[in-house]
Every structure is written in structure tokens, then in C-alpha cells.
Amino acid sequence: MNKVIGFITEKGGVSKTMSSVNLAHILAVSGYRVLFLDMDAQMNATDMLMMGTEYECPDHLNLLCSKMEDKAELYAEYIYESNFDSIDCVPGSAALKEVIYSIHSASQSDFSVFTCMRRNIGLVKGDYDYIIIDTNPGDTTLTRCAICACDGILSPIKADNFSFSGVTGLLQTIIDLKQLYNVPIEFMGMFFADVNLNSSGYKRVKAWYEENYRDYILPVSIRHSVQVSDSTLRYLPLLIACKRHGTTDDYINLAKTLNLIDEAHDKRLEQYLAPRKAKHC
């Protein structure tokens, strides 16, 4: 399978991090080997996955701009075990704020910068079933490098007027980058996140998206719940923080709707979800 999936949209605060972390964890619990790449200077995903673990913030500029010889360099300097089984992590770094400017100037003289990270993470792609990328908001050289590194892109949206331009901008950027650099990137779809399923606003906005973006809108929405912010306080993915919960189910449904979990792995996930029965003598 070996698929690189990025959670990307220009709009900030729309659940990219929550969705990428929880999807990565659901895939890991299902038995897949997952590499998580935190490309955001806020490092929220790194906190969720690595809290209390020792790591050094990696040299992202090198990852983004220098062609690596072999995967040994990635394992030695970039990839750490996370707190969760089957998830390795390339931590984010506050330095990514500056890296944005450095790769922007590097890209002025060398266009291959945009596909350099795709090439570098390609060195370890065979070692993971899924590589999940969390990105910073906005349309920067950094997000463009992340887009080019992806096989598929998912965009969470909120039920408001502002998420829309974040996705339409992204769709055009994907078209441009595919043409310019000949990279096969699939837009896997957008999904509502952090929504109240019963609110009339959500229903209205959803109907509008379904009418105008039928091919792009996924049939799963992620419910708003206080358990999500609670899970961040404990640095735990939802499947651990609240295994049986509507929002957790929504993320599982999202993974299944996208056909990310095959039958054998689905069995393993169901075993994890099954209530533990008392043993009788």
C-alpha cells in the first residue's frame, strides 16, 4: 500500500492536527506501520505523539532541500519512536518558521526543491504502510513541498464561509504543482470536522458543498465534542482517551470510507474495540 497522505488546507484551526493524529493512530491500532511527519512549527502533533519522549528537533531544511544518499540518514537524524505502538515520528520544530523563508529563497534558483522531500521520504516509504503529514496553515513554500510529497491529500473543513476559500486555493495549487513537477497527487476529498451534526448551519453548508463539490465532499463528518480538547490535555489519541465515542467512531468511519483499512486489519481494529469480557472459571 505505502501511501503518503497529507492533511492540508490553507485555512487554520480546522482540525488538521486532530484529524491527522487520530487517523494515524487508528491505522496503527489496526496493525499498520505508520510514520508521522509533523511539518508545522506549532508542533501540536509532535506534542500529542511524543510528549515526555526525548528527541532532537530535526534539520528540516536538509530534509526539504538536500538529496539524501540513503535511508540510514533519515533513521539516524529524523525518525523517532513515538509514545504509541507502530507510529514513528519525524518531530516538528519551531525552526520551521524560518525554514519557510530559506526554502523559498532556495526554490528561486532550484525548482527541484519542491520535490526533494518527496524523494527523501521515498527512501523509507517501503518501511511504512502509511506516512501521514500534518502541515501548517497557509500557502507557503513549505506547504507546497508537503503537497508534492503526498500521494493523497485530505482537507478538513468547518461549517462556515471561511473554510471554502482555503480548499479552493489548495485545489488550484495541487493542479499547478502536478503540472509543473509531474507528481501524481490525488485530492482524496474534504470532510467536515468539529461540527454539530444537528445545527441548521451545518446542514445548510453541507447541502451547498454537496451540490457544488459533489465529487470532493466525503460522506463522513467529524462531530464536535469536548472529549477532543480533553484528549489534547492528556496527549492521547481519541481511541485511547475515549474508545467508545461518537467522534472516535467518526474518525474510524472516515478511515473505512477512504478504504484505508483492509479486511484483515479491520478485524484487528474490531478486536481492539470489542469490550473485554470477564473470564469465567
Ligand X SMILES: Nc1ncnc2c1ncn2[C@@H]1O[C@H](COP(=O)(O)OP(=O)(O)OP(=O)(O)O)[C@@H](O)[C@H]1O
38 binds, among ligand X, Mg ion, none (CB under 5 to 8 A by kind): none
Nearer to ligand X, 16 or 71 (CB): 16
Rule CB under 5 A: choose which of 17, 143, 155, 247 binds Mg ion. 17
Question: Which amino acid, residue 33?
Answer: R
Please enumerate in sequence order all residues whose Cβ is within 8 A of that of 234, keeping only pairs 6 or more positions apart, or say none: 241
Q: Which stretch binds ligand X (CB under 6 A): 7-15, 66-74, 91-99, 164-172?
A: 7-15
122 binds, among ligand X, Mg ion, none (CB under 5 to 8 A by kind): none
**Count of residues engaged in binding ligand X, rule: CB under 6 A:** 21
CA distance 35 to 50: 13
21-50: which residues touch Mg ion (CB under 5 A)? 44
Nearer to ligand X, 2 or 196 (CB): 196
Nearer to Mg ion, 93 or 107 (CB): 93
113-152: which residues touch ligand X (CB under 6 A)? 137
Give the residue among 239, 243, 245 at the shortest CA–CA distance from 226: 245
194 binds, among ligand X, Mg ion, none (CB under 5 to 8 A by kind): ligand X
Establish if 93 lies at the interface with Mg ion (CB under 5 A): no
- Judged by the rule CB under 6 A, the positions of this chain that interact with ligand X are 12-18, 40, 42, 44, 137, 193-194, 222-225, 228-229, 232, 247
